Every structure is written in structure tokens, then in C-alpha cells.
Chain A
Amino acid sequence: MILGKVVGTVVTTISHPHYDNRRLLVVQPLTLPGDAAEGDFIAVDNTHAGIGDTVLVNREGNGARQALNLPDGCIISVIVGIVDSVHLPSLK
């Protein structure tokens, strides 16, 4: 999984059936200071995260299918947790 911050919401009325009544959030991954910023992406919200939350995102299809209980779902990124705190003793 990766650490990311929710920066936006996406509303789609016409979408694939697997995306019905699921919230789509725009997530920007967190990176170490000095590293290049990674690209943002869209994730399906599974834990009622909102804008500004720091979240745990699973970016692998198999894990996403299990998290959403969709045996053949076409969803890759799923928010699987809201992070309370992170402890990094040293950034080296």
C-alpha cells in the first residue's frame, strides 16, 4: 500500500456498473522531502475518507477486488484505511 492525501472528489454519473454508488477520490501520494513528487491518481473510497485525509491506498487489482468484494471488478486503486499517525525515526 502507499500513503497518500486526498485532494479532490470526482463525480461520474455514467460509469461502469462496478463503480455504481462508490465514491471516487483524487489522491496525491506522499513522498520523502527531496524526492520527486509522484503523479496523482483516482481511488475508490472504501473508508469514507474526505478531502484532506491522509489515507492508505491499495494500488493492486487483486487486493482491490478483495477489498470491495467484487470477484471480477475493474478497479485498481482502493482506499483501505485512514492514517492517524506516522512515525519515521529517520528519513535516511
Chain B
Amino acid sequence: MLFGRVRGTAVCTIKYPDMKGMKLLVVEPLDRKLKPAGPLQVAVDVVQAGPGDLCVMVRSREAALALREHTFVPVDLALVGIVDELKVRPDGEFDFTLKEGYQRYT
């Protein structure tokens, strides 16, 4: 799952029939520092997110599973949560590189 900022809405009249009644939001994937991490994409909204909300998104088959009725719809991005609080440690605190030899973590 990943972070996403809702940037707008999309309306589709001619689309895959089973996708009728699905709210489409234009979202921008973000990284943990809330910087843009990809192009704008369209996601199906399941949690009634509004413009400007920071959300949790899920991709691939799980996005279609997140919809209320599990029809086989061609959906690959869904908003599954609205972030209320985000606590992230600053960058320099942890070392993300694997080291040679025996490395103990706990």
C-alpha cells in the first residue's frame, strides 16, 4: 500500500459496465516525506475521500477486492483509508544498507 493525495475527481460515462456508480478520484502517489512519487492516476474511492485528503491506496488485484461487491472489475488502484496522523522518523536516523558479514538487529 502507499500514500496518495487526492488532487481532483474524474467522471466517466462510457466505461466498463460493472464500474457503474464507482467514485473516481484523481490521486498523486506520495512517498513517506509526502513528496510526489509518480504521475497522477485515477483511483476508485471506497472511503469517501475528498479533494486534498492524504489517503492510503492499494494496487493490483487487491484494489478490486476492496470494492463493496467483489465483481470482476478492471480496477487496479483503490483508496482504502484516510490518513489522520503520520509519524515518520527523520532520514538520518536509520541505516538502510545491508552490510557484509554478520549483522545483528535486535
Binding site for B on A (CB under 8 A): 3, 5, 7-16, 18-19, 24, 26, 28-33, 37, 39-44, 51-54, 61, 64, 72-77, 82-91
Contact = CB atoms under 8 A, between A and B. Distances in A.
Contacts of A87: 101-103
B78 A74 contact: yes
A31 B96 CA distance: 6
B89 A8 contact: yes
Contact of A11 (B37, B80, B83): B83
18 contacts: A5-B96, A7-B89, A10-B56, A11-B84, A12-B56, A12-B83, A12-B84, A14-B47, A15-B81, A28-B94, A30-B98, A31-B96, A42-B2, A42-B56, A54-B105, A85-B102, A86-B105, A88-B103
A12 B89 contact: no
Nearest to A7: B89
A42 to B, nearest CB: 4
A88 B101 contact: yes
A77 B46 CA distance: 19
Main secondary structure of the interface of B (DSSP, over half): mixed
Interface of B: 1-3, 31-32, 37, 46-48, 56, 58-63, 65-66, 70, 78, 80-89, 93-94, 96-106
Contact of A8 (B58, B86, B97, B105): B86
Contacts of B62: 61, 64, 73-76
Given A10-B85, A13-B84, A74-B65, A41 B98 contact: no
Given A10-B56, A86-B105, A19 B80 contact: yes
Nearest to B1: A42
